[in-house]
């Protein structure tokens, strides 16, 4: 399913215990951060997460590449 207008990709990170590091567990696309939170919680429910956070993909800055694939939607990567 393609992206609707106004939708962004959000990266999801979670940890199962307070002492764990966050792991990247997936992505969702959503029109707002509030819906991204709902979709993330309801989609990635395979574990009893202690904490889950989301951030829009376009908030990430590439470090070692000028044009990182990570900043592009998969459909935009050749």
Partner 1 sequence: MSPVDTAAGWKSAANVPVALHEPLARLLLSLADNKRLLGMRYSEWILGAPTLEAGIACSAMAQDEWGHGRILYAMLKDFDRDPGQLEHERGSDEYLSSELLDTAPGEWPVLLALNALLDTALSVQCQALSESRYTPLHYKMGKLLDEERFHFEHARGWTGRLADTDAGRAALAETYRAALAPCLRWFGRSDGELWTALTEEGVIDGDPDAQRERWIERVGPLLDEVAIKRPSPAGADLDWDGWDEARRRTGSGGPDADTLARVRGDKNRSMLMD
Binding site residues, partner 1, CB under 8 A = 1, 4, 6-7, 28-32, 34-35, 37-39, 41-43, 45
Q: Is the dihedral of CA 49, 44, 41, 12 positive or negative?
A: positive
Q: Minimum distance between the CB of residue 41 and partner 1, rounded to whole angstroms?
A: 6
Closer by beta carbon to partner 1, 2 or else 78: 2
**Whole-angstrom Cα distance, residue 42 to residue 28?**
11
> How far apart are the C-alpha atoms of 53 and 69, rounded to whole Å?
22
Q: 7 near 30, Cβ under 8 Å?
A: yes
Provide the minimum distance between the beta carbon of 1 and partner 1 in the complex, in angstroms, as a whole number. 5
Of 26 and 62, CB closest to partner 1: 26
Judged by beta carbon, residue 43 or residue 68, the one nearer partner 1 is 43
């Amino acid at each position: 399913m393609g992206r609707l207008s106004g939708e962004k990709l959000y990266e999801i990170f979670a940890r199962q215990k307070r002492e764990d590091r966050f792991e990247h567990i997936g992505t969702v696309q959503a029109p707002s951060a509030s819906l991204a939170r709902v979709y993330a919680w309801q989609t990635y429910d395979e574990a009893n997460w202690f904490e889950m956070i989301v951030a829009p993909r376009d908030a990430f800055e590439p470090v070692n590449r000028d044009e990182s694939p990570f900043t592009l939607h998969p459909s935009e990567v050749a």
